[in-house]
Amino acid sequence: MTELSSDMQRGDPDSPGEPRERVGPDDPVLRKKERIYDNLITKVTEQNELSPTDIKPETEIFHDLGLDSLRIYELVIDLESMFDIRISDDELERVGTVQDVVDMIYELTAE
């Protein structure tokens, strides 16, 4: 699986001039994962009054974000609706980090 690099998420702050693009223009996999990541972060921050800067690909969904089972259930329902997918209990059990969620959604939408 391809992971989102930290440079892709925030650009290079030490770079002078125009902000860099977060991914190369010819990489459709990373572009799609970036869109999934952005939508996921938007949904999580809206539901849980978190700042987007609090969430990174390596952030653990259950422990770092402090989501209880009801909030996880609501997030799953929202993601299923947003991406027109079905997330099984088995798939949900394999999720640990935000990157795991991005990868899972990418795989489910590629089918």
Q: Which residues lie closer than 8 Å to 103 by C-beta, 6 or more apart?
A: 1, 33
Alpha helices in the chain (DSSP H): 6-10, 28-48, 69-83, 89-93, 98-110
Q: What angle do CA 74, 83, 28 make, to 5 degrees?
A: 135
26, 68, 89, 90: the catalytic one is 68
Retrieve residue 73's tokens. 């259930």
Direct distance between the N- and C-terminal alpha carbons of the chain, in angstroms, rounded to an integer: 15
Is 12 assigned a catalytic role?
no
Query: Which residues belong to the active site?
Result: 68
